[in-house]
Amino acid sequence: MDELLSLAGRTVLVTGAGQGVGRQVALYCAGHGAAVAVNDFHTDRAEGVVAEVRSAGGTASAYTCDVTDFEAVEAMVASVGEVDVLVNNAGNAGPVLDPMRPAPPFWETQPKEWEPWLGTNFYGVLNCSRAALPGMVERRRGRVITVISDAGRVGEPNLAVYSGAKAGAAGFTRALAKAAGRFGVTVNCVALGSVRTPGVSSALEDAELVKGMLRSYVIRRLGEPSDAAALILFLASDAAGWITGQTYPVNGGYSFAV
């Protein structure tokens, strides 16, 4: 099994890898032999993860880039070189878990408020996939793995734009899987429930909020970055070579909690 999960000789580009799930994916992939391109909007975060990887004996480089800027993404991919595995992890959750800033209903929002959710969560996926895919198609081998939220599968009240952006990424994944499959490229999604990451840490300090959230999960705990990273590692490996066009929930039973 270790051989099947080996990423030796592969280059893995992980976006939004400066903390949380992306950081754990970078560490897992490097631990299984990959050279990891650690992307983040914040240079210090990317460099911090690179230092972690290197201190553990792995290979990694940092790339600061806003995934909503296609030209910057193209330049990043050109600098990385051959990208064997793309993990579209960068996302913008906005006030999703902030009890002090409840999101208004869609009909009370303005177009300028939609852009952060649409930009990173949807256009960022398109930009990075567009930049990395030509090389994969030419080499007739590759993996594209996109991290979305379960909001994209089940919808969330007052989070219509966020849910729509994530659902759009899932639909894009299915279409891209059909188009790229004959070139040896697999394309899949991982849909997450609430995961303990620095991005939502302040909201999770509210004990009553967390208590209410836990009632939505069959497994009465929130997710950890390692829960998601383990599946992403599998999908990046040769063990998942006949899996494509799928969206895998990693959510503690959120969508059918009792």
Q: Which CATH class is domain 2-247?
A: alpha beta
Identify the pLDDT of residue 205. Answer: 61
Identify the pLDDT of residue 157. Answer: 80
Catalytic residue among 28, 63, 123, 162: 162
Structural tokens at position 21: 């799930």
Identify the pLDDT of residue 161. Answer: 92
Q: How far apart are CA 182 and CA 171, in angstroms?
A: 19
Identify the pLDDT of residue 258. Answer: 45
Identify the pLDDT of residue 95. Answer: 59
What are the average pLDDT values for consecutive 10-residue runs of the chain, which has 258 residues?
A: 88 98 98 99 98 98 98 98 98 64 84 92 98 99 96 84 95 98 98 77 62 69 90 98 96 65
Strand order in the sheet with 247-250: 59-64, 35-40, 11-14, 85-88, 142-149, 185-192, 247-250
* Residues β-bridged to residue 39: 63
Identify the pLDDT of residue 185. Answer: 99
In whole angstroms, what separates CA 163 from the centre of its chain? 15
Task: Decide if 117 contacts 160 (C-beta within 8 A).
Answer: no
Identify the pLDDT of residue 156. Answer: 81
254 belongs to the catalytic site: no
Task: Decide if 46 contacts 63 (C-beta within 8 A).
Answer: yes
